[in-house]
Amino acid sequence: SQAAAAETITLSNIRNPQISGSTGNYQIKTQNSADATIDQDLAVAADTITAGALSATNVQPTSLVAGAAGNATVSFTTANPIPADGKILVTFGSGFAFNSGAATAASSATMNGTFAVGIAGQTVTLTRSGGAQQNAGEAETIILTNIKNPVISGSTGTYTIKTTTS
């Protein structure tokens, strides 16, 4: 190729990182057959990998009666793996109360290990431990206990579900 000519090379079968964030800078070098560098750019601008979308999401209280306390089933299918020490954050609409009758706990028949439960405002944070990474594309179900429905009938508001690293 000629000096100062723009070149494009397409690489196939490249997989993005499974965790969102910066890729870090890329590096491009050209070398001769003796591996001596001809040209280089060691700080090609990074890209930002965005989070995958959860699908088949649902949060379903066992009872839909105003003021009833019981379990809520959280279900979703992942786009990316959930690390063994990852977190799942479930945000409930206003009016739900946690630790109703006993501490809110979490269990799952689809994920191994245990969950530590943290509550801040309307968000329940489940921190995984003692299990293995959950693969991408898996349907997950988690049961949360001792959650009290809003005491006034009507819409529960929008729930959100998010997975994160530790």
Q: pLDDT digits over 29-86, tens only?
A: 989 999 999 888 899 988 887 778 899 999 999 999 999 999 999 999 998 899 999 9
CB 118 within 8 A of CB 90: no
Residue identified by tokens 């003796």 is: 34
Q: Residue 67: what pLDDT?
A: 96
Ranking 26-30, 97-101, 138-142, 146-150 by mean pLDDT, the lowest is: 26-30
Q: Which residue has the higher pLDDT, 21 or 55?
A: 55
**Residue 128 CB burial class (10 angstroms; 0-12, 13-18, ≥19):** buried
Q: Residue 32: what pLDDT?
A: 92
Average pLDDT, the chain: 92
Has residue 15 got a pLDDT over 80? no
Where on the phi/psi map is residue 137: left (φ > 0), alpha (ψ -120 to 50), or beta? left
pLDDT band, residue 3 (cuts 50/70/90): low
Please, how many CA atoms are within 13 Å of residue 162, restricted to the half-sphere of its CB? 13
Q: Which residue has the higher pLDDT, 143 or 40?
A: 143
